[in-house]
Structure 1
Amino acid sequence: MKKLAFIGAGSMAEAMISGIVENNFLKGEQIWVTNRSNQEKLDRLHQKYGVNGTYDLSELLENADAVILAMKPKEAATGISQIRAYLTENTMLISVLAGVSIESIELLAEKKLPVVRAMPNTSATVGKSATGLAINSYVSDRQKEIVQAIFETVGLTTFVEENQIDAITGLSGSGPAYIYYLIEAMEKGADEIGLDKDVAKDLIVQTLQGAAEMVAKSTKPSYQLRSEVTSPGGTTEAGIRVLESFEVQKAFIQCIKEATAQSKRLGIALSDELYPVK
């Protein structure tokens, strides 16, 4: 791979650029980036990673092997329409736009070209993303290897059928926010029981990392791991009983379902915008 272009220069684009450069998948000068109007951000990315920032679409996309669509989902139609004249049937489009289907991207591009729909999460910033990938029939075996290698620079990857991408969005795409929400609650609880803020943070982080490592390495299902630390009449049982009284587990399940549904709604809204019923 010789050249990679980013349309959009937000936090996800920067996380990916960081992973790609720091893991030596590409050199900074092989990466080109644009955004709507923030020249200061492009300059900062150039200074930090050595990438090229430009508003000249011809310069941005000339001989690009792949283009990563990293703008806001609501900007997909405008963004793709602006670059379609510069795309060839060999240009791989990689979308990290929540809710935007491969079919919508194909129709907006007005070409039969390789399209990848990816759903990373913000943990890409620290190289710990969980990324789901779906491809269309024009993606070659070599291109599939390339896109997998790109996202492996920021974490774990898995290929799925596209109809599972909305579910991945609801589970792991939005998942870090659910964990942060839990951490907020643990921090507030720690404060109310009189623990020092810094001490509490260290304990919470280690507890979460330890629990995650146990799930990753153990062959036991999560409910069994939980039951093994929930002694009858003990402190953990007392705490779990409160969580159950508030139906916290049900709330998390509904949370994931609703985020998945919203991803689907975003896709439907874009389709309706592109092809309104007459």
Structure 2
Amino acid sequence: MSSLISSTDIQSSIRSLRLCFYGAGSMAEAIVRGLLARGLADSSLIGMFNRSNAQRLEELESRYNVSVSNVEEEQLDMLQDADVIFLVMKPKDAAEALRKLSAFIKPNQLVVSVIAGLSIRTIEQLLEQPQPIVRTMPNTSSTIGLGATGISFSQSVNDDQRQIALAMFEAIGMATIVEESLLDVVTGVSGSGPAYIYYMMEAMVEAGKQLGLTPEAAREMTIQTVLGAAHMVKATGETPADLRRKVTSPNGTTQAALEVMESYRFSEGVIQAIKRASERAAEMGEEIERSAMK
């Protein structure tokens, strides 16, 4: 990668890079789809592979015209030729994969980790050398360009590599630089966050159906309600709490509903859920670190 990349040339510079995705799950696909949709990557320069799911690789090759392989020698070639290596394997496979990678990784290759809980320190230990490492926590909304990603950098990452990483993740949503110690919190809030909203939407749709709406009407009303609420927060700049108060008339329907939610300790449940997700991310990192020491 070149050492000086101007802001006006950053996108074309990224487009010339070889990208290798070590793992081919939903998050890898989300990133690839987002980058390709915004013209920030060339499909002919993208390689993807996984441990054993050949059918999944065939689907990705057909869908995005990327290079795939389940042949180990070809996979090694993808990794060795890459300018940017994305670590998107399952956390339980990370230690073994990084040990293999340590045998041939080059000092100038940028490593981008999307593995929850896996610290920069552990990655460097497994690679057995300092390396430009970008630790990220995106979410699956990246697929449609509406992702939220927390990013931290190792000391070996230079300014150009920072620009490259930020531009890639900003192309699939928003990206925020945070202290690495807070990435587990990012995992709890936004990494796992879409699932919380989907869970809420499931309940809203089910309530509508139970109360007489058709499944289609319940679904569409729920989708539009959630979409509108998110846009209201973004467009007005007001806090969710202020907007909630504005639509909660004394003794009205909204107040009645919110009182039921609070009787079930709704807010406390959400807070504790996010805390638990953050704790689990840390636990997963510790599990990887323990396996790395074996």
TM-score bracket for the superposition, by shorter chain length: over 0.9
Is the aligned partner of 1:32 residue 2:47? yes
Is the aligned partner of 1:174 residue 2:174? no
For 1:192 and 1:70, the matched residues in 2 are separated by 40
1:1-278 correspondence runs (5 A): 1=14, 2-54=17-69, 55=71, 56-275=74-293
- Amino acid in the other structure paired with 2:266: V
Displacement of 1:23: 1.1
Displacement of 1:168: 0.2
Q: Secondary structure at the match of 2:136?
A: strand
Displacement of 1:88: 0.8
- Amino acid in the other structure paired with 2:35: I
For 1:189 and 1:52, the matched residues in 2 are separated by 45
Displacement of 1:16: 1.0
Conserved? CA contact 2:45–2:66, under 8 Å: yes
Q: Secondary structure at the match of 1:158?
A: strand
For 1:22 and 1:178, the matched residues in 2 are separated by 26
The unaligned stretches of length 5 or more in structure 1 are none
Displacement of 1:144: 0.7
Displacement of 1:48: 1.9
Give a deviation string over 1:156-208, Cα, whole Å, max 9, x none: 11111101100000000000111111011111111121111111111111111
For 1:191 and 1:42, the matched residues in 2 are separated by 38
- Amino acid in the other structure paired with 1:263: A
- Amino acid in the other structure paired with 2:24: A
Displacement of 1:38: 2.0
Q: Secondary structure at the match of 1:86?
A: coil
Conserved? CA contact 2:95–2:291, under 8 Å: no
Give a deviation string over 1:225-258, Cα, whole Å, max 9, x none: 1111110111111111111111101100101111
For 1:221 and 1:23, the matched residues in 2 are separated by 31
The unaligned stretches of length 5 or more in structure 2 are 1-13
Q: TM-score under structure 2 normalisation?
A: 0.91
For 2:121 and 2:143, the matched residues in 1 are separated by 29
Displacement of 1:13: 0.8
Conserved? CA contact 1:57–1:83, under 8 Å: no
Q: Secondary structure at the match of 2:101?
A: helix
Q: Secondary structure at the match of 1:212?
A: helix
Report the equivalent of 2:3: none
- Amino acid in the other structure paired with 2:177: F
Q: Secondary structure at the match of 2:103?
A: helix
The aligned length equals: 276
Structure 1 runs of 4+ off > 4 angstroms? none
For 1:110 and 1:230, the matched residues in 2 are separated by 57
Q: CA distance change for structure 1 residues 87 and 186 in 2, over 3 Å: closer, same or farther?
A: same
Displacement of 1:273: 2.4
Q: CA RMSD in A?
A: 1.3
Q: CA distance change for structure 1 residues 153 and 220 in 2, over 3 Å: closer, same or farther?
A: closer
